[in-house]
A and B are shown apart, each in its own frame.
Chain A
């Protein structure tokens, strides 16, 4: 087999191996293939390039974001330069040169405790909370976003012909024009609406009902097939969005949620000694200045003690403490 074809086969395997539907028999087929020394060498070459790029991912993303947008005109000129015959042939068999029209995907990320405001090309604004990742694709017929991790407030420019769709875990949030907060930490996601109407529906292939949320409503969803039913509650959007001003405001929220929020803000993890503590209800305001002070103040809002640990802070149940 020529090197180029072998490299293609190796790349196919590497791409295939991260598929969600890969099963053990296919894995065994991979094992047989990669056991051939020439295949193994080709695979290792592709794997080492992939791992090198993945290890450098944060820096790469940062650098790629700073590059000027690719000049589309070059692509179309090159394509037109193929001449009338090629163009006609492409049209005749129904091909569209995708690269000419393919919309760009922009990505944004924030470090722990960092907040960032972004204005998108359609005039919508997004404020990202710490430890968040967001990708944005503004296509001609829809605006597609994905929030794999973190929290953001979206203020969406109304455009009926281009729905604004946000993929969060196994749900899709669909809006026409409104302002709302989306939080996606681990398996927990929540949507709080300040203005307008927001629809939360299961992603393709996921079962579940469609929720329509109105101003002042909050929906909490736990991802996964065995998760409890989503909870609709009344929320104060100002409180939910308080992180943008360096505060966290809670009215009767579970301690687990507070801890997840703090872990978006600070580098050193805050952990619960006993997972059952996560259900303890908390009300109060936390000013986000420094982690030690914040955990100490948190301990005044619930029957807990905050103990420094080698990694960060541990919250321990303390029935003696007055909440």
Chain B
């Protein structure tokens, strides 16, 4: 029973985009979408903290675009595209945050219950569990950040507090939190980034 539910909880691989190459004919919004799909994924991955969620949302956005009434006049397609993406995230943000937290807690519990053998744990490549050595590198890199940057990064990016919640926990302004998170990201990338993408 336990084993069955472990398997049942494994995230399904996200469906491949089912995109009709001619779909953008005469539709500037759909054309903008097809041209900017990568950027939209980049944008949503930063906001959602997960590539899988971002891919999912971008796919959902496509269905929304394809299903919408094409009669309306579109002033600035790019801004409209991002507004729709932001709204989609808003719709899902609360439920998503909760289910991610639930998944994590669930995985920890399941892990303990199957006696150290993570039966279901074959996450997609972008979420690959860090090897023990890589994990040590990650821990050291975060631990050795300047104190304020380290705390801001940890509260916001690792523990999932919003900028405002992080600001409250640290007694700083929201702008200052943003600055510390940026400094942390820069230092972490310099230290942990793969040479290949430099």
Contact = CB atoms under 8 A, between A and B. Distances in A.
Nearest to B187: A11
B108 interface: yes
Contacts of A25: 79
A144 B126 CA distance: 35
B193 A49 contact: yes
Contacts of A17: 43, 46-47
The 6 A-B residue pairs with the shortest CB-CB distance in the complex, in nearest-first order:
A27-B82, A24-B83, A15-B182, A11-B185, A11-B186, A17-B46
Interface of B: 5, 8-9, 36, 39, 42-43, 45-47, 49-51, 76, 78-80, 82-83, 85-86, 94, 98, 101-102, 104-110, 112, 123, 126-130, 135, 138-139, 142-143, 146-148, 151, 154-165, 168-171, 174, 178-179, 181-183, 185-186, 188-190, 192-194, 197-198
A18 B184 CA distance: 15
B135 A54 contact: no
A136 to B, nearest CB: 9
14 contacts: A13-B46, A20-B164, A24-B82, A31-B36, A35-B36, A44-B42, A45-B193, A53-B142, A55-B129, A59-B129, A60-B158, A64-B139, A144-B171, A187-B94
Nearest to A186: B98
Contacts of A44: 42, 197
A294 to B, nearest CB: 16
A131 interface: yes
A34 B37 CA distance: 12
Contacts of A284: none
A54 B110 contact: no
Contacts of A111: 105, 108-109, 112
Interface residues on A, range: 35 or more
Contacts of B158: 53-54, 57, 60-61
Contact of B163 (A4, A18, A99): A18
Contacts of A137: 169-171
Contact of A31 (B78, B106, B135): B78
B183 to A, nearest CB: 7
Nearest to B49: A54
B198 A45 contact: yes
B189 A24 contact: no
B46 A139 contact: no
Interface string A98-141: 11001011010001111000000000000000010101010100
B123 A55 contact: yes
A307 to B, nearest CB: 15
A12 B178 CA distance: 8
B194 A19 contact: no
Contacts of B148: 98-99, 102
Contacts of A10: 189
Interface in A228-244: none
B5 A18 contact: no
Nearest to A98: B148
A50 B109 contact: no
* Most interface-central of A55, A112, A149 (chain B CB within 10 A): A55
Contact of B169 (A27, A70, A167, A269): A167
Nearest to B84: A24
A27 B86 contact: yes
B106 A112 contact: yes
Contacts of A16: 178, 182
A20 B163 contact: yes
Given A17-B43, A64-B143, A27 B157 contact: no
A12 to B, nearest CB: 5
Contacts of B86: 22-24, 27
Contacts of B170: 105, 137
Contacts of B8: 310-311
Given A31-B43, A135-B169, A146-B168, A46 B186 contact: yes
A47 B42 contact: yes
B174 A49 contact: no
Contacts of B128: 55
A158 interface: no
